[in-house]
Amino acid sequence: MSTVEPLRHDVVVVGGGGAGLRAAIAIAQSHPQLSVAILSKVHPMRSHTVSAEGGAAAVVGVDDSLDEHAYDTVSGSDWLCDQDAVEAFVAEAPRELRQLEHWGCPWSRTDDGHVAVRAFGGMRKLRTWFAADKTGFHLLHTLFQTCLQYPRITRYDEWYATRILVDDNRAQGVVAVELASGRIETITGRAVILCTGGCGRVFPFTTNGNIKTGDGMALAYRAGAPLKDMEFVQYHPTGLPFTGILITEAARAEGGWLLNKDNYRYLQDYDLGRPEPKPVLRSMDLGPRDRLSQAFVHEQQRGRTVDTPWGPIVYLDLRHLGEKVIDAKLPFVRELCLQYERIDPVHELIPVRPVQHYMMGGVHTDIDGATGLPGLFAAGEVACVSINGANRLGSNSLPELLVFGRRAGMAAAEYAVQGAAEPGPAVLAQAADERSRLERDLLAPREGPDRIADIRTEMHRTMEDSAGIYRDAASLAAGADKLRELRERFGRTTIEDASRSFNTELVAALELGCMLDVAQTMLACALRREESRGAHQRTDFPARDDDRFLAHSMVSRDHAGDPQIGYLPVTITRWPPGERVYGR
Amino acid sequence: MPETITMQVTRYRPDTDRSPTIQEYAVPLRKEWAVLDGLNYIKDRLDGTLSFRWSCRMGICGSCGMTVNGNPALTCGTFLHDFAPGPVRVEPLTNFPVIRDLVVSIDDFLRKLPTVRPWLIREDETVEDVEFLQTPGELDNYKQFSMCINCMLCYAACPVYAAEPDFLGPAAIALAQRYNLDSRDQGAHQRLDLLATPQGVWACTYVGECSAACPKGVDPAGAIQRYKLTAATRTLRSFLLPKGAR
């Protein structure tokens, strides 16, 4: 097929969730002369930001301070975050949430009309803004509807990016498939921003939607931009069994508590404080997610969880909150329990177990979203700035995607206007190569020993067995071997669908390829980090080791296609490494 | 052998098929399984060529709307067991062009949505560092209409949209009303020209199917009826009062 004329824009945003929309709006407002493309594999309002429930943290109260939000974030991260990034984050978060308020986000309110705030895990003050328990949904729809007023933003809904085009050591666009038609097109830009979200779907049991397949991480890695801290995977302590649907931390912030099979508030046995009738900040059920998920594993080992066909569970008890509070503050929790578990949390205990939820690691960026590859920027869960370090605090991810979505948008716009050249023939030749690869490898039916789902299922099992809440060298090494085998088998899977129009088997194959690459980096980084910190717990190295590992893992792909790992020092400004203390 | 249920699924590949056909698949009948789990079983185990959209599987992303045994539904929140012993018929949403199998084009809605200006419009200056005050009562005024997930079930259910493709439709009008009723918004008069037209609220014959179909408890039919009153009053005022007094 001949090289066709590319679709040209100034900035190409890949991903239309919270970070991508925020970046695009920032560019449209500050640089109205620039043409912005938002490319998304789904309609933007389907993006996974929609599933965030509990809230968004930003200091508002007179009794709160930026330093306290920063300290909570730093200690929550087990000191692996970069403190300059955290200081910028907490300083800009209030302005961003207020901006969302000005754009119409229906934040919950106090009686006098001010924005209401609630408690959240690991936060010492009430600073989490919320829109009932559908905060991400409202935030995403507010951004989506707001972006509709900017004519210089062109949306490519349901386009799947398969490759970042790099020439002259600079990102200059992407190749993408328009799903409806199967057309393969080249979309060029003077800068590219990745906002594709996380990679929860490498695990079998996750709160993440089906679309969270690490696409942006894999595209960046293949293009030569290093990934950072890929071993840090967050398990949320309260997912519904079978579905993995998230029951928000706000349920505990409003006063819910966790019980084991003996109706005992077991968190008191794990250095998280004493049980009180009312929630206490940074204590017990309001401890950080890593510690709560680890406590579950210990309860399981002590035989104090309840076995179900979907694995062991404990209970989340909201009954004492009463119907009025539940309906006012947690209506979605009730709706989800009724629909998916057929239980009513007003009267019954909610069965829960830890569930993969969030990726702390991602594409390495600086404080302005710039990656290791010039012209390529990243923001949101796909990126690792890092404000989350070894464990993200609940309600920090929504303000993160706003603060760093805006920053990445501004930085990409500046990069574009500072005269990056129009993409030349080398870029178009690369695009032609990518087109041939897609047509040869994935759009021709073939019979193989495995189905796509077979490889995916084995990858799931591998990742759960080797990179779950607790890890050790043997299981990580075995997992890495298994992934090598799966990558080889992946090249020979059965492809049944040769149709051009809305070929979801093609998308599933491309996504699986991304997940296998991302999974490989996760296990490699986890094996090399011989310490326990935050969400990365090694049973063979149970202590934190600041001498060797107060540093970010940086992983790049070498010429043989294998992950190469180095380390980057953590930036410490004002809070030297210390003990994480909760409940005392 | 576990108990199974038959799923009758619409197949349509525009590159090869002249018209849609029905294909039957036997899938395990498990008590936890939603219709979407059945479709995924087919895709993963039986037939990789079946195409449908889905993501969050918790009723909030709005992508998995289809017609299940004749009714528009989110397949992630509709359970196979409720149709036992079967069969369960799964078809694309009605009133939309079909792209492939169970995937429909919602481009018409996406074209109409910006025309109702579904964003907060301010005429007074906004002070950057100060939030707009809004009491819980003022929030309740529009909150319901802000719950729309754009799943398109209301368009599939709407007989007016079926007959009159120019009709703005239930979700677009409800979202316009969401901003009209928001105490922070000052743009209602900018939306009037589009809403108070034969393609806007006046097209609606108040069948109410949209509100019955909505999985999120939004009442688009109520929004439309309420707006008809506003529109009628404004139109009347524009006839009766001199310009400055409207």
Residues β-bridged to residue A299: none
We report the CATH number of the domain holding residue B208 as 1.10.1060.10
Task: Return the closest-CA partner of residue B47 out of A359, A40, A445.
Answer: A445
Q: How close, in Å, is residue B203 to chain A by CA atoms?
A: 24
B55 touches chain A (CB under 8 A): yes
Total tally of structural domains belonging to chain B: 2
pLDDT-derived band at B246, boundaries 50, 70, 90? very low
Residues B112 and B233 in one domain: yes
* Closest residue of chain B to A52, computed from CA coordinates: B60
Flag whether pLDDT at B134 surpasses 80: yes
Alpha-helix residue ranges (DSSP H) falling in A132-208: 135-147
Average pLDDT, chain B: 94
Residue A243 with chain B: CB contacts under 8 Å: 32, 57-58
Of the three residues B104, B121, B139, the one that is the final residue of a domain is: B104
- Biggest CA pair distance of chain B: 78
Q: How close, in Å, is residue B133 to chain A by CA atoms?
A: 5
Q: How many CB atoms lie under 10 A from the CB of residue A302?
A: 11
Residues B121 and B225 in one domain: yes
Option in B32, B136, B184 nearest A242 (CB): B32
Q: How close, in Å, is residue A498 to chain B by CA atoms?
A: 8
Flag whether pLDDT at B1 surpasses 70: no
Q: Active-site positions of A?
A: 236, 252
Contacts with A, B 69-88, CB within 8 Å: 77
Q: What is the mean pLDDT of residues B101-107?
A: 98
Question: Are B44 and A48 inside 8 Å of each other by CB?
Answer: no
Residues B180 and B196 in one domain: yes
Domain range for B119 is 107-245
Question: Are A210 and B57 inside 8 Å of each other by CB?
Answer: yes
Q: How close, in Å, is residue A495 to chain B by CA atoms?
A: 8
- Biggest CA pair distance of chain A: 71
Would you state the pLDDT for residue B171? Answer: 97
Q: Which of B41, B56, B124 to mutate to test the interface with A (most CBs of A within 10 A)?
A: B56
Q: How many CB pairs under 8 A join A and B?
A: 165
Q: What stretches in chain A show pLDDT beneath 50?
A: 1-2
Residues B128 and B83 in one domain: no
Residues B134 and B226 in one domain: yes
Residues B148 and B70 in one domain: no
Residues B82 and B147 in one domain: no
Q: Which of A112, A340, A447 to mutate to test the interface with B (most CBs of B within 10 A)?
A: A340
Flag whether pLDDT at B244 surpasses 60: no
pTM: 0.97
B125 touches chain A (CB under 8 A): no
Residues B118 and B92 in one domain: no
DSSP of A198-263, one letter per residue?
--GGGSSSBSS-TT-S-HHHHHHHHHTPPEE-TT-EEEEEEE-TTT-PBPPTHHHHTT-EEE-TTS
Would you state the pLDDT for residue A402? Answer: 98
* Closest residue of chain A to B186, computed from CA coordinates: A104
Residues B141 and B234 in one domain: yes
DSSP assignment, residue A340? I
Residues B147 and B82 in one domain: no
DSSP assignment, residue A380? S
B132 touches chain A (CB under 8 A): yes
Residues B111 and B100 in one domain: no
Of the three residues B104, B133, B163, the one that is the final residue of a domain is: B104
pLDDT digits 0-9 by tens, B10-19: 999 988 899 9
A346: its two tokens: 């007003």
Task: Return the closest-CA partner of residue A548 out of A572, A576, A567, A561.
Answer: A567
Option in A42, A149, A497 nearest B49 (CB): A497
Please give the share of chain A, as a percent, with pLDDT higher than 70. 99
Q: What is the mean pLDDT of residues B100-113?
A: 98
Of the three residues B67, B89, B104, the one that is the final residue of a domain is: B104
Flag whether pLDDT at B245 surpasses 60: no
We report the CATH number of the domain holding residue B85 as 3.10.20.30
Residues B213 and B133 in one domain: yes
